[in-house]
Amino acid sequence: MSERTAYSGTLADIRHRIAEAAARSGREADEVTLLAVSKTFPASAIRALSEAGQRVFAESYAQEATAKQAELADLDLEWHFIGPLQSNKARPVAERFSWVHSVDRAKIARTLNRHREGQPPLNVCLQVNVSGEESKSGCRPEEIPELVGVTLQECPNLRLRGLMAIPAPGAQAEASRPAFRQLARLADELRGGFPEAAWDTLSMGMSRDFEVAVKEGATHVRVGSALFGARSYT
């Protein structure tokens, strides 16, 4: 079986599960965008999945991503950045992605804004640490209003779309539900306080828990291993 044929079955299965989860909560399947998380997988795997019908891909490491983007320049793909960001690596991300889901501090927002000058606005989500555990990335919920203020007032080249979270991994998908609910509730509060932002995006749910996320209102699910197979590193 060719790589492409193998991917069409897996892709159809994930899309079907998203549609079923959406239907169970009275939502339409097309309210949920599937991001294929291709980090650590080669450009050839992305090409094969794109031939199977997937157009939206997400990457976590700037250098790895831009190398693959260069190899795939002949394809019409939409790229989302979902990894931790450092200011000194933010430039290629600002220039070559359509979305960044992992903005978690003012300095990153300002740096992305500066490097996006002259291009259509960069869609951004603010990453929130909803589990409250020791986590490398994501700002604390109480830091969000200030970050929203900076993004809206000082960053005309960014378009604030919503929130993103990576709950602490639990034994079961169900373990993520409280964190997803918390993220959705936070977005509702922000919608009232900052009506000038879109607040149309909840980026939550991964291979192990995307169906729970869809039921809790996810608009973007980030699925890697369930599509591409196990990664040798994360």
Ligand X SMILES: *Cc1c(COP(=O)(O)O)cnc(C)c1O
Q: List interacting residues with ligand X (CB under 6 A).
A: 37, 39, 60, 82-83, 166, 206-208, 222-226, 234
State in angstroms the smallest separation of the CB of 176 from ligand X: 11
Contact 138, 166 (CB under 8 A): yes
Report in angstroms how near the CB of residue 227 gets to ligand X at its nearest.
8
Q: What is the distance of C-alpha 34 from the center of its chain?
A: 9
- 132 or 156: CB nearest ligand X: 132
Tokens of residue 91, six digits? 């430039």
Q: How far is the CB of 64 from ligand X (least distance, A)?
A: 12
CB nearer to ligand X: give 81 or 199: 81
CA distances to 17, 32, 52, 92 from 23, rounded to whole Å, are 10, 11, 24, 38
In the complex, what is the shortest distance from the CB of residue 50 to ligand X, in angstroms, rounded to a whole number? 18
Strand boundaries in the chain, DSSP class E: 33-37, 56-59, 78-81, 99-103, 122-127, 158-164, 201-203, 220-223
Closest distance of CB 21 from ligand X, Å: 15
Task: State which residue has the least CB distance to ligand X.
Answer: 224
Closer Cβ to ligand X, 39 or 161, answer by number: 39
Instruction: Scan for tokens 């501090």, then name that residue.
Output: 105
CB of 133 or CB of 196, closer to ligand X? 133
Helix and strand element counts for the chain (H, E): 9, 8
| In contact, 220 and 37? CB cutoff 8 Å | no
**Minimum separation from the CB atom of position 74 to ligand X (A):** 26
Is the Cβ of residue 153 or residue 234 nearer to ligand X in the bound state?
A: 234
Query: Degrees (nearest 5) of the Cα angle 126, 57, 201?
Result: 35
Between residues 107 and 208, which has the closer beta carbon with respect to ligand X? 208
Cα atoms in the Cβ-side hemisphere of radius 13 Å centred on 144: 25
